[in-house]
Amino acid sequence: MLAQVTSCAVVGLDGALVDVQVYISNGQAGMTVVGLPDASVQESRERVRAAIRNSNLRYPGEKRITVNLAPADLRKEGPAYDLPIAVAMLIASEQLHADLSKTLIIGELSLDGLVRHTNGVLPMAALAREKGFTTLFVPASDAPEAALVPDLKVYPIESLFALVAHLNQLQPLAPFRAEKNFAPDPSAASVNDFADVRGQEHAKRALEIAAAGQHNVLMIGPPGAGKTLLARAMPSILPALEIDEALDVTRIYSVSDMLPSDTPLLRARPFRAPHHTISHAGLVGGGRWPRPGEISLAHRGVLFLDEFPEFDARSLESLRQPLDNGFSS
């Protein structure tokens, strides 16, 4: 029997829909995963097998199981496909009966059937809403983050067994209710307060103008003059984040798996101060699996490059275009 559920991948900073198809047929027993999966996706075979059996469900191990992650030309990475694979397998083996045409499922499984945290949930939830999905099943620890996207019914999933009981209408789950109040905290990211800096009136005036007009600043002076202190205090005088800006920043940190577990929405402007020995990919972003760099992590905040001439020439050249235009493309 063939079954299909919808999941999601993260490409750069955006989500991309992935159809998880499971076909169970007669033949040599075994499970094959196709669709350009990486090693962590291939290992889902063992996690799904153990999770199903430890959830008191039947694993169709005597059959031939083929799992296809479509589109096949999109590289799949990470364990976020464990839960959708398990659900599709249970539908294909006729243990689960549910209409999931407007549902997106995300989650990593542990061997005992519990659902673990997945990074990049916010851009996945935003894509689900954009594509017309109405329901989102995510790990319970990620539900506050997913619920930041309006017009989505988000269900926090603790275990595979709990999800199956909900879909079979044996023990329905309550959707997660998000906190509606947004109270920006402009000083949370700054250890130093601008009001505590004594002297350097000209430098402080320049930074105030830069904060008001979103300008770049080059500070030159002898060691000990207070350049680093002034830079670290600058977030305390920046305007408070608006809700749309906060969602932009949170999306980047969600993809990077840098969101604090108790903070689904970042409310303060970021401050990033990479060391001058950082690699080009670490500063600008990229890599075999593209990841945000320090420039992206400083979005809507402050990027402080101490000992600026010590950074390698390639990284400095990469900053030329965004410095000229005021944005990166």
Tell me the per-residue pLDDT of 69-106, one tens digit each, with 9 for 90 and over: 999 999 999 999 999 999 999 999 999 999 999 999 99
On average, the pLDDT of the chain sits at 91
For the chain, residues classed under CATH 3.30.230.10 are: 2-167
The pLDDT value recorded for residue 192 is 80
Three-state DSSP string of 255-292: HCCCCCCCCCCCCCCCEECCCCCCCHHHHHEECCCCEE
The pLDDT value recorded for residue 262 is 82
Q: Judge whether residue 148 has pLDDT over 70.
A: yes
Residue 195 CA: distances (Å) to CA of 198, 212, 214, 239: 8, 16, 20, 15
Give the CATH number of domain 194-325.
3.40.50.300
The pLDDT value recorded for residue 38 is 92
pLDDT in tens, 156-197: 999 999 999 999 999 999 999 877 666 666 555 556 888 888
Q: Judge whether residue 67 has pLDDT over 90.
A: yes
Q: What is the pLDDT confidence band of residue 240, given thresholds at 50, 70 and 90? A: confident
The pLDDT value recorded for residue 217 is 93
Evaluated on CA atoms 151, 155, 156, 157, the torsion sign reads negative
Fold of the domain spanning 2-167: Ribosomal Protein S5; domain 2 (3.30.230)
For the chain, residues classed under CATH 3.40.50.300 are: 194-325
The distance in angstroms from the start CA to the end CA of the chain is 46
The pLDDT value recorded for residue 86 is 97
pLDDT in tens, 113-142: 999 999 999 999 999 999 999 999 999 999
The pLDDT value recorded for residue 87 is 97
Q: What is the pLDDT confidence band of residue 13, given thresholds at 50, 70 and 90? A: confident
Of 209, 9, 38, 242, nearest in space to 127 by CA? 9
Lowest mean pLDDT among 8-12, 48-52, 253-257, 259-263: 259-263
The pLDDT value recorded for residue 164 is 96
